[in-house]
Structure 1
């Protein structure tokens, strides 16, 4: 709902020594103004500078930030929504006799912290990040929601960020300056590449704390940062909750009917909370079960509250009909009397949006769906200020091909005798193959794997290689290895990948056991992969590339019912079979809503929200030169290693020889390098892409319905 930036610094810090440091700060803070639709509001104290841009949904008249406590000793900047904040303020009033001055959740958080300290976290249900500072510059507390829906970054002075590369319950460090912002571009700190963080992100080894940029970290989900001034330094602690997404369950007291009822009840409650707003909300509607379930419950809510207003849905359509879900979305909207709004965009439109989407995501990654989401949010913003989305369902309920792949691995080795996983693999592959033609067809039913978000062939090689190298079963290993080899060369890639073992294992096992036997046991594969994915890919890549960052790029708030506190508690009760049942993904969601919306709507196969790779023959030639110059300039790796990649991309003969999966992996490596060149221009060199308002308005007028 907002964007903010701030800095707390000691007088002998590097930041304080800059003559025009205030001007630099507010100039950087201006880079997050797109997150709000109101003018800048700021606060200045002796050692603190704060800036806030508001996108208001509640208590629109009086919820002004930065907000001071009544005693003027504390100040807060906040982004997000606390959906149960009225319960919190009732508790504070009953126990402390406090009288609130506003109706806002911002005041609820601030007074909640002053009354309950760090325990405030257990009373909050919502999507949020906030920073509370003591106005004398002596203390700071920052928190982020359990799944990392709302972003929060810190820029540190002279802190080696490699201390954050492995998962720990807490991290201790000290710094003379704490820069913070909703986005990296809002930090008043010079942006420079950090090689190891860069390599990890471009290859798809996402980290929830370290970033590709020097001295810049992301506060991980479900954590807090506390800083206290001691002499010239701030002594800081980041504390994480060490709990898995799901415990390893072999049995459950809940039968299926009870579980389906509880699931439906929980999702409705999540939707009900996220309808809390003084302005109209819409919904993103695709052809998948996630958005259909959310839409269905929004309709129920409006009927229950006797709100006589048609629900507005927003859908995007593409030139390439294989990627489009407009027909499916329209069919559902018409059945349930939803007002459909469908925008058609061309590949040329997507290419225009791509550089803007990359700039806002701040991620080095190979995916292009951010360009589609950028247009979708801009389109929705013409009609509403906020939307409910299906984000998080795939991660919590097993919706990606990699989840089915992990489930298959568990099944494939379950009946094979052996003392350990390597014995099982040896027996299974002696005279036979792990290749399962049925699995391959189920994982990627299309000729183009990119259509369903798949880059794995489904032969089991990913698991075997990752187990040998890291001791954990990683279903996307082949894509990671391909991208690493494309930019580092085979030998250097193998060496570098082997060095990532400790970090990868630590995030896999965070909340679980960390011994070799537990991590390699096929029985645990699905739960381990989900745990790793939700703690790394979800907050770092997915919620940046197609979540909050794309909505807020166009001053639209996205609300995520599947990522509620209550939904997380429910998911923790689920067995593997309630997520993946044979080849059926998101089984509990599909079966729960099959009776409500019909089999056809509930059981429709997943189609990845995405768009095709955004390059052609001419762009390949042009980008080879651009990439070459950028690599030489940054020296992040040697350009000679990419010669094979460039040769492959230029050669129709080599492309025709490649399998669809290998072609997808190599193309994704090239797309990631294009992304890198855009980020180096826009974020590192601070040259944001130019917006063409007339062109954008022309595209938005391509509305189908």
Structure 2
């Protein structure tokens, strides 16, 4: 897991790459390197050493001929199998997945992407033909941001690295859609003008100033090509077999591995399978809590742990810690993030780093593939959960001129099944992309790597392709998954409903954190975003909230987010 950066084109200045790498040093504190092709390109890399800790695996990595040069962020989990397939077609000099990736590209070209099981974003510079090839993994676990100017192409793992060499104003349309509809942008958009992201499952070819972007992973086509026989027992066995294989691959590391656990069925299944795979070693589990029994999942976690005997690191978030962490995380996120739960989750990675655990696994991705979100079972298809009957957004507080930038996002519907179209939206446009961004930034903020075994593309494709009756039955969501898990976890956990809220954010923002809220909204009034809002209306909403209308805190966190990010933009300037 690392940070990548690059500048292509004329007039490259030496200090620019140094600035970019310094800005994202947290992503890879173990080593830093630069490759230069004078007058054409410079690639940079910050390394977090996970596989093959030897310095010979440092990056940018060059092939034996010296023609190809790679800057790579992520992990190729099936690198050993791919290395065996390549065999004598390439002379390997390291034991790294980095070299396997470069060799695969040299031998198979862009078709190598279909052979990769992993999370990745990478760029390969061809110093002979003076062209770049870059790609991002199927679901966009690892980020790839870029700016294309008239004479330069700049890319990096984080927006802030690009902004050090190319200042960027806020993208008003994306911000307006966030306030009005809860959108975090379309797959190619960011909250900054002129800075875009490579969508998940796409690749870039760049030569002589010309940029070409193409999709290499066509998920709808993949699903339509699958024709499973929907025999319940066969599907269970097949899914479980792939899941065990996914977990085995994601334990490949030359450093200590731990995992995150909540009280839900996803992470409980993960815990059981981890222990089954490592029978002689008790892997450390991490879980956050706040001390509020209405929201904490710790009782379910401790019930599981009492049966497995894993060491458990319980990480508590206190309300008085929120202001400092919020500003810190806003700096790493750069775009709106998910409130107090994201802060609590971030503390897990801080704790893991302090204990020397560099890799953590978690259960991200199950809800999207198994239709686990509550609205899959209702007619409310909101992007925000846990708001009850209260409106998630308060767009009327926006000034008319700014609100006119908003345009309700429309998402493709490539399937005839309504449920699958919702799942597709959440996988590639809303829920998962947002969560993956949150998770990448907070794990990397503490120089730790996060792996998601449930996002193995084979698992996602299999579960997604199943009929509705195997996902939701009798009002029970994740139906077949619950059948699978019965042999691994206690009945009370396998039957437990999904809990949308995991922290007392609503209560804290109205009570313990009222001063923080007041200060944030006052800061927003004097920020670079000030002209977007009618601040009297904002304060009116705050008074109603403090008077007891606390069924929904999302809109408050939107304004706090804006204040935090505006502060970072001001400091950068």
State whether TM-score is above 0.5. yes
Name the CA shift for 1:260/1:77 in 2 (closer, same or farther; >3 Å). same
Change (3 A) 1:668 1:599: same
Partner of 2:18: 26
| Structural RMSD (CA) | 2.7
Deviations 1:434-482 (A, max 9, x none): xxxxxxxxx9xxxxx99xx422539xxxxxxxxxxxxxxxxxxx53xx3
- CA distance in 2: counterparts of 1:380 and 1:190, whole angstroms: 34
Residue 552 (structure 1) aligned to one of 433, 440, 444? 444
Whether the aligned pair in 1 keeps the contact of 2:172 and 2:402 (CA below 8 Å) is no
5+ residue gaps, structure 2, are none
Match of 1:132? Answer: 124
* Higher mean displacement: 33-42 or 119-128: 33-42
Q: Specify the alignment match of 2:44 in structure 1.
A: 51
- What runs of 5+ residues in structure 1 fail to find an aligned partner? 158-174, 410-442, 444-448, 459-477, 513-517, 519-523, 688-705
Distance 2:522 2:137 in 1: 42
1:176 is the counterpart of 2:151: yes
Find the aligned partners of 1:217 and 1:266 in 2 and give their Cα distance: 34
1:279 pairs with 2:255: yes
Indicate yes or no: 2:6 matched with 1:2: no
Cα offset, 1:543, TM superposition: 0.9
Instruction: Say if 1:127 and 1:155 are closer, same or farther in 2 by CA, change over 3 A.
Output: same
Aligned length: 561
Paired with 1:609 and 1:52, the residues of 2 have a C-alpha distance of 38
> Deviation digits for residues 510-540 of structure 1, max 9, x if unmatched?
x44xxxxx6xxxxx33211111111112453
Q: Is the 8 A contact 1:201 1:363 kept in 2?
A: no
Which residue, 322, 326, 329 being the options, matches 2:301? 329
CA distance in 1 between partners of 2:15 and 2:155 (Å): 16
SS of the residue corresponding to residue 167 of structure 2 reads coil
| Aligned counterpart, 1:91 | 85
Please state how far the C-alpha of 1:605 moved relative to its aligned partner: 2.2
Residue 627 in structure 1 maps to residue 524 in structure 2: yes
Structure 1 residue 269: Cα displacement:
1.1
Task: Show CA shifts across 1:10-60 (max 9, x none).
Answer: 24xxxx4xxxx3223311321111112313222222122222111112111
Name the structure 2 match of 1:217: 196
SS at match of 1:527: helix
Q: 1:486 to 1:397 in 2, by over 3 A?
A: farther
Contact 1:155–1:178 under 8 Å retained in 2? yes
Residue 195 of structure 1 corresponds to 172
Matched, 1:118 2:10: no
Question: Cα distance, 1:246 vs. partner?
Answer: 8.4
Counterparts of 1:143 and 1:623, CA distance in 2: 38
- Structure 2 equivalent of residue 675 of structure 1: 561
> How do 1:551-570 and structure 2 match up within 5 A?
551-570=443-462
Q: Which residue of 2 aligns with 1:465?
A: none
Structure-to-structure mapping, 1:152-551, within 5 angstroms: 152-157=144-149, 175-187=150-162, 188-202=165-179, 203-206=181-184, 207-229=186-208, 233-239=209-215, 241-244=217-220, 253-303=229-279, 308-365=280-337, 367-383=339-355, 384-406=357-379, 453-457=385-389, 479=392, 482-488=393-399, 499-500=407-408, 504-505=409-410, 507-509=411-413, 511-512=414-415, 524-545=417-438, 547-551=439-443
1:639 maps to 533
Shift in Å at residue 185 of structure 1?
1.2
Task: Please give the per-residue CA displacement for 1:469-518, whole angstroms capped at 9, x wherever unaligned.
Answer: xxxxxxxxx53xx34333256x985x665x43xxx33x332x44xxxxx6
Note if contact 1:247-1:527 (Cα within 8 Å) is conserved in structure 2.
no
Q: Residues 190, 496 of structure 1: CA spacing in aligned structure 2 closer, same or farther, 3 A cutoff?
A: closer
Cα deviation for residue 238 of structure 1 reads 3.8
Q: Distance in 1 between matches of 2:227 and 2:133?
A: 40
Q: CA deviation at 1:277?
A: 1.1
1:601-625 CA distances to partner (integer Å, 9 max, x unpaired)? 2122222464315633333432332
Structure 1 pair 529/310, CA: closer, same or farther in 2 (3 Å)? same
Instruction: Please give the alpha-carbon distance, in whole angstroms, between the structure 1 residues aligned to 2:170 and 2:148.
Output: 15
Secondary structure of the residue that 2:220 maps to in structure 1?
coil
State the distance in 1 between where 2:33 and 2:278 align.
35
Q: Tell me if the contact between 1:366 and 1:669 (Cα under 8 Å) persists in the aligned partners.
A: no
Alignment correspondent of 1:434: none
User: Contact 1:209/1:217 (CA < 8 Å) preserved in 2?
Assistant: yes
Q: Aligned to 1:272, what secondary structure does the other structure show?
A: helix
CA–CA distance in structure 2, aligned partners of residues 456 and 139 of structure 1: 52
| Structure 2 CA distance for aligned equivalents of residues 257 and 271 of structure 1 | 21
Equivalent of residue 574 in structure 1, options 441, 459, 466: 466
Local SS of the residue matching 1:342: strand
